[in-house]
Structure formats: C-alpha cells, structure tokens
Amino acid sequence: MRLVYEHFVATLTGLIRTPAYSLVTVLIPGVVFIFIGTSVADSREAANLVMASFAIFAALGVAFFQFGVGIANERESPWEQFAHVLAVSPGTRFAATILAALVFAIVAVSILIGVALILTDVGMPLMSWARLVVAVFVGAVPMALFGIAIGYWSPPKAALPIANILYLALSFGGGLFIPPSSMPAVLNAISGVLPTRQIGELAWAAVQGRPWGLEPWLWLAGYTVVFGFVAAMGYRRDEGVRYR
Amino acid sequence: MISSKNEGSAVRPRNIMGSPNYAARLVKVSKAYGPTRALDQLNLTLDRGEILALLGPNGAGKTTAVSVLTGTRRADSGSVELLGGSPRNLAIRRRIGLTPQESGFPNALRVGEILRLVRAHYPAPLADPVLFDRFPLQPLLRRQAGGLSGGQKRMLAVALAFAGAPELVFLDEPTTGLDVDARRALWRAIGAYRDDGGTIVLTTHYLEEAEALATRVVVIHGGRAVAAGSVDEIRGRVGQSRVRFDGEAPDNLPSATRIERSDGRVTIYTQDADALVRAMVQRGVAFANLEVQPASLEEAFVEITGGGTQ
C-alpha cells in the first residue's frame, strides 16, 4: 500500500508539473462548454443534458490521454525500464496510475460542473447528481481500457494524434456535442453502437430522472471485455518486445 | 532453478540462510534476438563480495547478460539464479540495485522526490547522511531532474543503484560521459560500498574503470565468456609490457608476443621487457625514443577478442 501511495504521489506530481498535460485535460472541457454548451443550454432541462454530456467528455479526456498517451510515451523511456527492475508489481503501479487519473477526472468534472452552475440554469435532485456521477465513472472504465489499448498498440509518436482523433470522433459520434435526435439517420445508426453513446444514454437518463435501461449496461460490459482484452494483448505484446 | 551437476563440481557449501555462497549464476544461458545470438551458452558465476567487470565490444552480449540477470529479459534456455532465487521474484529484487544505462528520469520530478520514490522500494535504505556523504546530491535535492547536467544525472543514476542499500548492485556504464573528477568521486563511492561487503557487476567501455575497480574481469565476446581472471591475469594474456620505439622491427626477438608497426613506430608486447631490450642492444637493432610501459587492459582486450570494435 505504501508503494501505491509513493507511486501515486510521484505520478501525480509529475503530471501536475507538466502544464501542457494537466491544464489542458482539466480545463478544456470547461472551456469548450463555455463556447458550445452555454449557447444551447437555454432551459434547465437542456442545461442539465449538455452538462451531463460534457462531464463524459471530461472523463473521457483523462482516460484517453493519461492512459493512452501516457503509456505510449513511457513505453520507450529508460526510466520505465529502470522502474521495471524495482521491486514493485505491475498491479501496484497500475493502481497508482488509476488513482492519479481519478484525481484528474474529479478535478476536470468538478470544474465543468462549476462552470455549468455559474453560467447556466443547471439544477436537479440529489439522486440525479449521484446517478450522473456513477454513469460517468463507470463509463470511464471501458474508455480507460481503450486508452490503454491505444497506448500499447500505437507507435509512441502517433499515440497523441490517434488519441485526439478518436477522442473527438467518439465524443461527436456519441452525441456529446449534438444530441443524437438531431443527427442524420446514418450517423445516428453508427452512434447507436458507440461506447460514448451508451455512457450518454445512462447520463441523460440520470439527469432526466428516467430509469436506466439494461441495454447501455450490456453494451458497456461488452466494450469493457473487448477493450480489456485488446489492452491485455497489447501489454503482452509490448512485454514480448521489450522483455523477451 | 539451477542444475546441480554443472561443471562436475561437488555441491557448493551453503550458508545457514540456505542461499548459495555465490550471489548470482548463469548456466548455459542462450538468448537470441531473431537471427542474432546475443548470448551463446554463457556460464557466469558471481561470487559474494566481488566486483566483477564485464568487458567486451559493443554487441558482445554484456548488456544482455545483465538484463537476464536482473530479470528484464528472459533467457531462451539455460538457468538463471539471482541471490538464491528468480530475478522476477519481488523479494529478490528488493535486494538488488541498478543504474539505468541512459539517465532518463521523469523530467518534472525533483531529485529528492526520485530518491524518495526509489528508496521506498527497499526495506532498509541508506539514510540521508550516508547517502549524501557518498554522493554529493544535497545541493540538487530541489532541482527537477530535467534541468540536471549530464554529469549530475549520471551521479543520480549511480546513487539510485546504491540508495536502497542492496546486497548486489548492477552498474551499466556508470561513468560514461563524466569528467575525471566526477568519475573519481563515483569510484570512491563504489569503493566504499565494496568495503562494506557489497557485490557489484559492472559493465563498462572504460578499461581504466575496470582496472580501478574490478576484482575480477570477464571478457565477453560473441555471447560467450572468452576470458576470465584478475585484471593482471587478463593483461598477462597479451604480455606484461609494451615496448615502443622508432625504427625497424627485428624478427625472432625473445619473449615478444605480438609486434605492431605503424609509421615507423614499432610496438612490441612482451612478458619480459628487460630481456627484449637486452636482445635488441646485443643484436645492434637501431632504435630511438624507446618507451616501456605496462600493457593496458584495453590492449589485452583487443588481443583476446581478436580486435573487437573498440
């Protein structure tokens, strides 16, 4: 446990002192919300929906960039090879990374909610807030695994652009920027199978006080298994390249 | 882990902890990267308390040998034993220290934070006063690793290998790129660890470094150990002395092991420089600017590996 803490502190410290990472991941969702979100949040109902979508966008960013790009960068770093010989299990280091990501996700989502509370007429029962948080953080699990898969499978230099493109495509396609109801039929059909759309369905149901259907959960469970498998394969492959 | 019948030797005595009296051992370890055989049935035993220098040209297999010993790479075949167990065992890895070949640290972390993180992995790491006595890092503690000079990074890298007070330390090119003063300071720190009974495996390009530190040298070439012995013994392979002069190189001189000629300057390696010079005088060989020096390890090394890439 002490090692989890030490690695967590070191990871968090390193990220905080890299403003190009920390400020961007933490502030971008709030800033984008100011420009795009506030203009469509013309009623309480609309404001709640848009804020929920951007909360997913915020958590997705942390999952993608911290896990995806972070892992890709570390793969070739001499420090990582050194850390590999230290008496620490991969699980301990992974736990530390998850904790650090959680801190960033909480800060990013909190800033976004703060912006929404100040600039729009957001408001809902406590139960809806709680369900929104559950949807966002459960949804972040398959997305973090997707990020890890990107980190292990893409060439280190390509990881950032790949993550950027997928981040925007999945956010847009999942209906986080424009509601699925105003999408063309073809796009809506594609959107229906994206993981971001499933997280969206859960988050939107939460803020509207509707009960959760089973379908999004099944999709997310499926995506967790698939992304988890691809990430594990990538990890194995990477181990095979470096530690054969 | 280890075959009990290797080398036809009797069972080695074991101490009360049940671990063998050697610190590490490779038995018939092979390792290939595609068509390249990095290690070819390498046998290597590391005794407790020794400073073993692994020498060899680039690509000889030194770094691969260390990687296999530290568990960062798996051997294709053969057995690997580190401190009585497997190098992938966490309990074993708590007892070793190493320095990365490239000093790439997390740029945003401070020196003090890196020392703290690495020491957290060991049960009884070096306390600050001892650590800073050996490695003068104290003025750098609040500096971020990304802003350190090359020499300061090297110092930190070597300090990290010792910071956990491990039983066994792997030093991969510890003083590459350092100036003479910094190198000597590091050598003193390494010597202090040796005096405390620590065991070291050292890979180096600097033969001077092996001469200064090593109690034993193993020359690796083509993935095999081609020579082993003390620094003096390795040097003895090629001749104790090197005689140089301007002039014509005579043939059939007594005790000359090798003769080189370039630009009118002759270099003769010999076991007995006195007898050689005496013979030259008796035969009336014309020479000028005579110079007699002990042969360096580098020359022995070139001889043994048949002129490596050094």
H helices within chain B, ranges in order?
62-70, 90-93, 111-119, 128-134, 150-163, 180-195, 207-213, 231-238, 273-282, 297-304
Q: Tell me the pLDDT band of A240, cut-offs 50, 70 and 90.
A: low
**H/E element, A98:** helix A90-119
**Distance between CA A128 and CA B228 in Å, rounded?**
74
Give tens-digit pLDDT for A203-238.
Answer: 999 999 999 999 999 999 999 999 999 988 888 787
CB of B242 within 8 Å of any CB in chain A? no
Strand order in the sheet with B241-247: B256-262, B265-270, B241-247, B287-294
Residue B30 has pLDDT above 60, yes or no: yes
pLDDT score of B201: 94
What percentage of chain B carries pLDDT values higher than 90?
35
Confidence at residue A136, expressed as pLDDT on a 0 to 100 scale: 94
∠ CA A231-A234-A240, nearest 5°, is 145
Q: What pLDDT is recorded for position B5?
A: 37
Say what the pLDDT of residue B9 is: 36
**CB-CB contact of B112 with B141 (8 Å):** yes
Give the DSSP H or E segment for B82.
strand B77-82
Judging contacts by C-beta atoms under 8 Å, the chain A residues touching residue B71 are 85
Distance between CA B286 and CA B300 in Å, rounded?
27
CB atoms within 10 A of CB A102: 17
How far apart are the CA of A77 and the nearest CA of chain B, in angstroms?
7
Task: Measure the CA–CA gap between B221 and B39, rounded to whole angstroms.
Answer: 9
Residue identified by tokens 């893409």 is: A154
Whether B41 contacts B32, CB under 8 Å: no
In whole angstroms, what is the distance from residue B145 CA to residue B140 CA? 9
Could you give the ipTM of this predicted complex?
Answer: 0.82
pLDDT score of B1 more than 80: no
Query: Could you give the CA distance from residue B69 to residue B63 in angstroms, rounded to a whole number?
Result: 10
Strands B51-55 and B216-221: parallel
Residue B309 confidence (pLDDT): 40
Is A10's Cβ below 8 Å from some Cβ in B?
yes
Please list the residues that pair with B32 across neighbouring strands. B37
Residue of higher predicted confidence among A156 and A102: A102
Nearest to B225 by CA among B78, B97, B92, B101: B78
A4 vs A93: CA distance, rounded Å: 7
Q: Is A236 on the interface with B (CB under 8 A)?
A: no
The interaxial angle of helices A90-119 and A126-153, nearest 10 deg, is 130
Q: Could you give the angle at the alpha carbon of A199 between the alpha carbons of A193 and A202, nearest 5°?
A: 110
Instruction: Tell whether A76 lies on the interface with B, counting CB pairs under 8 A.
Output: no
As a whole number of angstroms, the distance between CA A234 and CA A240 comes to 10
Phi, psi angles (nearest 5°) of residue B241: -130, 160
Please indicate, yes or no, whether the overall pTM of this predicted structure exceeds 0.90. Answer: no
Q: Are B27 and B9 in contact (CB under 8 A)?
A: no
* pLDDT given for residue B11 in this prediction: 39
Closest CA of chain B from A242, distance in Å: 7
- Exposed, middle or buried by CB within 10 Å (0-12, 13-18, 19+), for A176? buried
Which domains does chain B show, CATH number per domain?
A: 6-234 (3.40.50.300), 240-294 (no CATH)
Q: Is the pLDDT reported for residue B19 higher than 60? A: no
Using the beta-carbon criterion (under 8 Å), do B109 and A85 form an inter-chain contact?
Answer: no
Interface test with A, best of B37, B121, B156, B158 (most A CBs within 10 A): B121
Q: What rounded mean pLDDT belongs to chain B?
A: 83
Q: Give the pLDDT confidence score for residue A237 in this predicted structure.
A: 81
A239 touches chain B (CB under 8 A): no
On chain B, the residues whose CB falls within 8 A of the CB of A244 are 33, 73-74
Torsions phi, psi for B265 (to 5 deg):
-100, 130
